């Protein structure tokens, strides 16, 4: 009887020690989550109110069609909105927007820095994205792909 109790106690001690040990390893092996730096930009929508995403230009972001909560939700055409977006190491971003009429917009932003302004506008049926630096100088302008969803 004593032998059975000793064996049961030894097994329990081994289980407890292995559980504690694996917990330490889990903490050691856990990836450190570093806060990402961000940049502040302003955005003006001259097209139609909607939801806007400005994403870092990565292969993962190029292949996904679900971007989470919108980074900007302009409600008034022509109003300036301020947003903090994750900083891309290379300064390149992807622009995605779905307006309230169900039109999808997308283009690449080759360069975007802290304090810069992004404006989406329309000339006839063509949408255009213009990027201005912090001094108001036009840095980049491009056509925006758009299609009804």
Scored b (16 or more CB within 10 A) or e, 82-97 reads ebebeebeeeebbbbb
At 1 the pLDDT is: 55
Q: Counting beta carbons within 10 angstroms of the beta carbon of residue 45, is it exposed (0 to 12), middle (13 to 18) or buried (19 or more)?
A: buried
Contact criterion met (CB below 8 Å) for 131 and 109: yes
pLDDT digits (tens, 9 = 90+) for 96-131: 999 999 999 999 999 999 999 999 999 888 999 999
CATH code of the domain containing 53: 2.60.40
Domain shared by 66 and 15, yes or no: no
Q: How confident is the model at residue 31 (pLDDT cuts 50, 70, 90)?
A: very low
Domain shared by 43 and 10, yes or no: no
Domain shared by 4 and 67, yes or no: no
Domain shared by 19 and 85, yes or no: no
Domain shared by 45 and 113, yes or no: yes
At 131 the pLDDT is: 98
pTM of the model: 0.74
Domain shared by 69 and 117, yes or no: yes
Number of domains in the chain: 2
Domain shared by 77 and 62, yes or no: yes
- 3-state helix/strand/coil string of 84-141: EEECCCCCCEEEEEEECCCEEEEEEECCCCCCCEEEEEEECCEEEEEEECCCCCEEEE
Q: How is the beta sheet containing 50-56 ordered, strand by strand?
A: 50-56, 93-99, 103-109, 138-148, 126-132, 117-123, 38-45, 80-86
pLDDT digits (tens, 9 = 90+) for 39-58: 999 999 999 999 999 999 99
Domain shared by 80 and 107, yes or no: yes
Domain shared by 24 and 43, yes or no: no
At 7 the pLDDT is: 53
Domain shared by 57 and 111, yes or no: yes
Domain shared by 9 and 56, yes or no: no
Domain with 27 in it: 1-33
């Amino acid at each position: 009887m004593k032998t059975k109790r000793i064996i049961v106690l030894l097994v329990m001690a081994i289980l407890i020690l292995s559980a504690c040990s694996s917990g330490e390893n889990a903490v050691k092996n856990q990836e450190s989550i570093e806060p990402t730096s961000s940049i502040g930009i302003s955005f003006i929508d001259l097209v139609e109110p909607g939801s806007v995403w400005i994403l870092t230009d990565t292969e993962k972001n190029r292949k996904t069609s679900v971007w989470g909560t919108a980074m900007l939700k302009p409600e008034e055409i022509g109003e300036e909105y301020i947003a903090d977006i994750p900083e891309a190491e290379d300064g390149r971003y992807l622009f995605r927007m779905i307006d309230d009429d169900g039109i999808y917009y997308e283009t690449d932003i080759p360069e975007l820095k802290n304090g810069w302004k992004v404006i989406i506008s329309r000339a006839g049926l063509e949408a255009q994205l213009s990027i201005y630096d912090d001094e108001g100088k036009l840095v980049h302008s491009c056509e925006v792909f758009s299609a009804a969803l």
